Structure 1
Amino acid sequence: MKSPRLLAGVSGLAALALLGACATTSSPTVPGTKRVVAAIYPYEWLAEQIGGDRVTVEGLLPPGGEAHDLELTPQQVADVTVRGDLILYESSFQAAVDSAVGQGTKGTALDVRTLVQNLDTTESADGHDTETPTDAHDHAADPHLWLDPTNMVTVAAAVRDRLIALDPDGADAYRANTDTVTAELRSVDAEYSAGLASCDRRGFVTSHEAFGYLAQRYGLQQISIRGLDATVEPTAARIAEVQDLAKREGITTIFYETAVSPAVSQAIARDAGLTTDVLDPLEAKPTDTSRGADYLGVMRANLQSLRTANGCR
């Protein structure tokens, strides 16, 4: 994972002056609202659903961006440290965000990772080793917890409570909105449970190791070409491992994602005579709305892709 780099290097009083200037040029907070800063799209979406017109939500990751490789501008650092009333992020996921939060925040910084049981990437749903790169060194807690919609239910409750603490007058609205989004998330969970209950195969090949929570929740086996960091290219040995596993498990589809190059996935599929399809890790807001315009839509598109690839009935 790359080290964070500010686009302009400043220090001391100059840094404070720059942050103050950035606060005046950043997208304005709507008068009377609370400002929520979200490090990745799922939490940006959730804050919008729960906060409604009582919040202004600022996403740090641009649409179609790659979360692991995020770099913050001085303006975004100011959003985290000075302007945000509530900051939603995961520690040890995006180094640039960790660095900004570590400078201290005026608002409440909520580390979403602390809200759920973290998934160790060395274990799968059945307690056995996951099929991940043997030469990887990033075995740690998987940050992609939002791909299990029941985790998002937990996060929603925490966001609701923080917003109520910041804005007690909006308590009824926050509770009602949370009830609505919770029902939607539980509906997606039920669709996954039913849709993946009866399949010809349980394994699926992913571009990077983003789908551990999803696999654990629905009894699937993730075979990842890369480790947790999508920006680290696989070795030739790992590619050979994936090709062997795909053949052994009767895999029909090699999944890729739009935020990183599909070249490796396409090459593996081509050499093995397999098809390719998109499985979106949902780190960033979708740019291709044909596969869903928001979190719920993309989750449902991912479900359909998995059902087709795994021969589910």
Structure 2
Amino acid sequence: MSKRILAAACAAATALALSACSSPTQSGSGSDAAKDGTLAVMASFYPLKYLTEKVGGEHVSVTSLTPDGAEPHDLELSPKMVDALSSSDAVVYLAGFQSAVDEAIEQQGPKTVIDVSSAAQLIDAGADANHPAEEEEGEEAQSGHDHEGHEGHDHEGHDHAGHDHDMTADPHFWLDPIRMAQAATLVGDKLAEADSAHADEYKANAQALAQEMNALGDTLVEKTSSCSVTTFVTAHTAFGYLADRAHLTQVGISGLDPDSSPSQARLAEIAQIAKDQGVTTIFTEALIDPKVAQTLADDLGIETAVLDPIESQTDASKDYAATMNDNINALTKALNCQ
């Protein structure tokens, strides 16, 4: 009996040793990808995941730090996701957009860090972009805000869930397909540096995607070039780059941060703009409570429709390109484009 017990113990010890040697990095999201030879890449939110998957093709396995259907502005990372960054081969992100991601990258130091902000050519947020005429919480909060010319203002005392959401630049570059094309080229170049064996494929994929994005940008401009209405009202001011590209005017109920709450004065101002500009539609979003937009539309006797900021993928059957085409169609209908 003792010999059998001894033999079994030895076998178990041998198996355990072999197991430990064969899989030293099972705790990170990139371990499975590493075993099949692909790059384990983490993207901070959906548009960058889309870019990375398209550019990387079969040579990458991409995980989004922001879950599908979640609001990326308020992202909190679990300890597991933070740890996974250290074992990933690369991370693709937009510096300054998600503070939790910025901090995790600084702590974990992934092998390759791809920041698309330079390619995106972000525009300064400008005065009141974060919280246009926001509803204040008492005189103490009001005294801490200067809503006249406070670009990049310090928003002390008005911090959502412990995080300062004020942005000195508008992060929503992905709503301009031309900027998406520029970001695709950058991602292709950086992946080629990280994985030289497949450099030509990454660059070819990036070139093809850039062409597709440029064509989508041309479609946006062409379809909105002859609209009888050139102003559109949105749930939050996510569509500045799209508006600039199409030579339209965006009016946001809330600012760059969708959590900001408009004042009654702001709503009255928007209502007057809508009447003056012949606005027929107030645009809502899937990830924002439509109550305020719906009430405003009801008061004005006009319709509501959805304009997707594509900050997160809310419909698995539609990718970035399909959703942008839906946005273009929604705009052309609401703005009475010929």
TM-score, normalising length: structure 2 = 0.79
Pick 1 or 2: higher relative contact order, CA cutoff 8 A, min separation 6: 1
Tell me how many residue pairs correspond in the alignment: 284
The farther-off stretch of 152-161 and 176-185 is 176-185
- What's the CA shift for 1:67? 1.0
CA 1:309–1:173 in 2, change beyond 3 Å: closer, same or farther? Answer: same
SS of 1:155's equivalent? helix
RMSD: 2.2
Confirm or deny that 1:271 pairs with 2:299: yes
Deviates more, 1:201-210 or 1:226-235: 226-235
Give 2:105's match in structure 1, choosing from 101, 104, 128.
Answer: 101
Match of 2:331 in 1: 306
Deviations 1:89-148 (A, max 9, x none): 11221121122122141322222112232212338xxxxx98982346646310000111
**1:198 maps to 2:211:** no
1:20-61 Cα shifts (integer Å, max 9, x gaps): x99626373252111111111111011101111100101111
- The letter for the 1-side match of 2:27 is T
Distance in 2, Cα, partners of 1:287 & 1:140: 30
Task: Note the residue ranges of structure 1 that are not aligned, 5 or more in a row.
Answer: 1-20, 124-128
**Match of residue 89 from structure 2:** 85
Equivalence map 1:286-297=2 (5 Å): 286-287=314-315, 289=317, 293-297=318-322
Contact 2:51 2:184 in 1 (8 A): yes
Conservation of the 8 A alpha-carbon contact between 1:132 and 1:224: no
Structure 2 residue aligned with 1:24: 27
Deviates more, 1:66-75 or 1:298-307: 66-75
Q: What is the letter of the counterpart of residue 335 of structure 2?
A: N
**Residue equivalent to 2:215:** 187
Match of 1:61, as an amino acid? T
What residue is the counterpart of 2:117 in the other structure?
Answer: 113
Equivalent residue letter for 1:134: A
CA contact (8 A) 2:28 2:88 kept: no
Q: 1:149 aligns with which of 177, 191, 212?
A: 177
CA 1:69–1:131: 2 relative to 1, 3 Å: closer
Q: Is 1:133 aligned with 2:132? A: yes
Cα distance between partner residues in 2 of 1:175 and 1:96: 30
Q: 2:203 aligns with which of 175, 185, 190?
A: 175
Amino acid paired to 1:93: F
- Rounded to whole Å, the distance in 1 between the matches of 2:27 and 2:207 is 35
Is the 2:130–2:167 Cα contact (8 Å) retained in structure 1? no
CA distance in 2, matches of 1:22, 1:196: 51
Structure 2 equivalent of residue 231 of structure 1: 259
Report if aligned partners of 2:112, 2:194 keep a CA contact under 8 Å in 1.
Answer: no
Partner of 2:40: 35
SS of equivalent residue, structure 1 residue 87:
strand
For 2:250, the equivalent position in structure 1 comes to: 222
TM-score norm. by structure 1 comes to: 0.85
Residue type at the aligned position of 1:24: S
Paired residue secondary structure (1:99): helix
Shift of 1:182: 1.5
Which segments of 5 or more consecutive residues in structure 2 lack a partner in the other structure? 1-23, 135-146, 148-152, 154-165
SS in 2 for 1:93: coil
Task: Confirm or deny that 1:64 pairs with 2:62.
Answer: no
